[in-house]
């Protein structure tokens, strides 16, 4: 089966200078791909480039579509949901309105209602706070909201930028187990940027190592896990 997302020769950046240098990676249909790298390596930039939020060139194929020249709105409508760095919460809207925004492009009302119930099952905390202004949620709750909002698109590919950022260890466990469910049961493929390499590699089937805008290692997780550099710099043994 061909990959769901296939990126090659991707260069991208802000202003005149490129941050990313000829990046290549894939996310398999139904798979989880993890991107690891130090602060400033270009992980967030990579996700932004895939979603068309910044200037980029190269090849990006999503499903059957070439998306390297498409606008973000159109890429999202193809079924790619991105929970961005910083969470992107609509602070002045209520929790439930945030979730409704995630589903605004959908026309299947019944399906939206189903998914609303489903994300509330995944994140009961959000259900308790459904009428609360989202700006008053805690950081962890906003992270849950960002993932839930992305899921409301009923995406084919879920793109997550450091979902564990700033969360208590138990909450991180929770979120990773929900991502596993979403991947296994709802058949959503996942592209994941994560500092917690151990958790990321446990979930992923492919992983890529980014260093100053370049992929320096990449492939099936089994190989990456045994890699000397990865073990020393990211897993710490």
Partner 1 sequence: MDAFLHQLFSGVATGGIYASVALALVMIYQATHHINFAQGEMAMFSTYLAWTLIAAGAPYWIAFVLTVGISFVLGVVIERVLIRPMAHAPVLSVVIVFIGLLVILNSLAGWIFSYTIKSFPSPFDGVIPGNAFMSPHELGIIGVTLVVLALLYGFFRFTSLGLAMRAAALNPVSSRLAGIRVGRMLGLGWGLAAAVGAVAGMMVAPVIYLDPNMMAGVLLYAFAGALLGGIDNPIGAVIGGFVVGVVENLVGTYLIGTELKLTVALVLIIGVLVFRPAGLMGKVVVIRV
Q: How far apart are CA 77 and CA 195, in angstroms?
A: 29
Q: How far is the CB of 101 from partner 1 (least distance, A)?
A: 5
Q: How far is the CB of 121 from partner 1 (least distance, A)?
A: 21
| 42 is a contact residue toward partner 1 (CB under 8 A) | no
Q: How far apart are CA 86 and CA 205, in angstroms?
A: 26
Q: Which does 89 bind (CB under 5 to 8 A by kind): Mg ion, ligand ATP, partner 1, none?
A: partner 1
Q: Using CB under 5 A as the criterion, what x/- string covers residues 85-124 for binding Mg ion?
A: x---------------------------------------
Query: What part of residues 119-158 is at the interface with partner 1 (CB under 8 A)?
Result: 133, 135-139, 142, 149, 153
CB 36 within 8 A of CB 229: no
Q: Which does 81 bind (CB under 5 to 8 A by kind): partner 1, Mg ion, ligand ATP, none?
A: partner 1
The CA distances from residue 100 to 77, 128, 135, 190, 222, in Å, are 15, 16, 16, 22, 39
Cα end-to-end span (Å), the chain: 35
Q: Of the two residues 8 and 195, which places its CB atom closer to Mg ion in the complex?
A: 195
Q: Which does 183 bind (CB under 5 to 8 A by kind): ligand ATP, partner 1, Mg ion, none?
A: none
DSSP secondary structure of 48-100: HHHTTSS-EEEEEEETTEE-TTS-HHHHHHTTEEEE-TT----TTSBHHHHHH
| 19 is a contact residue toward ligand ATP (CB under 6 A) | yes
Q: Which does 97 bind (CB under 5 to 8 A by kind): partner 1, ligand ATP, Mg ion, none?
A: partner 1
| 51 is a contact residue toward partner 1 (CB under 8 A) | yes
Q: Of the two residues 42 and 79, which places its CB atom closer to Mg ion in the complex?
A: 42
Judged on CB neighbours under 10 Å (0-12, 13-18, 19+), 224 is buried
Long-range contacts of residues 51-55, Cβ cutoff 8 Å, at least 24 apart:
51/75, 51/76, 51/80, 51/82, 51/159, 54/12, 54/13, 54/14, 55/12, 55/13, 55/14
Give the interface segment with ligand ATP, choosing from 21-29, 39-47, 86-94, 108-116 (CB under 6 A): 39-47
Enumerate binding residues for partner 1 (CB under 8 A). Answer: 51, 53, 71-73, 76-77, 81-82, 84, 88-93, 97, 100-102, 104-105, 133, 135-139, 142, 149, 153
Enumerate binding residues for ligand ATP (CB under 6 A). Answer: 14, 19, 37, 39-45
């Amino acid at each position: 089966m061909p990959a769901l997302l296939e990126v090659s020769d991707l260069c991208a950046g802000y202003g005149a200078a490129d941050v990313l240098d000829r990046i290549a990676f894939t996310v398999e249909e139904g798979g989880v791909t993890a991107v690891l790298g130090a602060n400033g390596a270009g992980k967030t930039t990579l996700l932004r480039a895939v979603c068309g939020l910044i200037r980029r060139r190269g090849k990006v194929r999503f499903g059957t579509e070439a998306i390297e020249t498409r606008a973000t709105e159109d890429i999202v409508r193809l079924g790619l949901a991105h929970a961005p760095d910083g969470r992107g919460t609509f602070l002045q809207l209520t929790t439930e309105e945030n979730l409704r925004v995630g589903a605004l492009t959908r026309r299947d009302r019944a399906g939206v209602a189903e998914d609303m119930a489903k994300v509330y099952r995944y994140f009961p905390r959000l259900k308790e706070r459904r009428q609360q202004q989202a700006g008053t949620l805690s950081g962890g709750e906003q992270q849950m909201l960002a993932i839930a909002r992305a899921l409301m698109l009923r995406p084919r590919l879920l793109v997550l930028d450091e979902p564990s950022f700033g969360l208590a260890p138990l909450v991180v466990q929770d979120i990773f187990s929900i991502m596993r469910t979403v991947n296994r049961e709802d058949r959503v493929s996942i592209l994941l940027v994560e500092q917690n390499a151990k958790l990321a590699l446990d979930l992923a089937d492919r992983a890529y190592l980014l260093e100053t805008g370049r992929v320096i290692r990449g492939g099936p997780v089994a190989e990456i896990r045994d890699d000397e550099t990865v073990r020393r710099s990211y897993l710490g043994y």
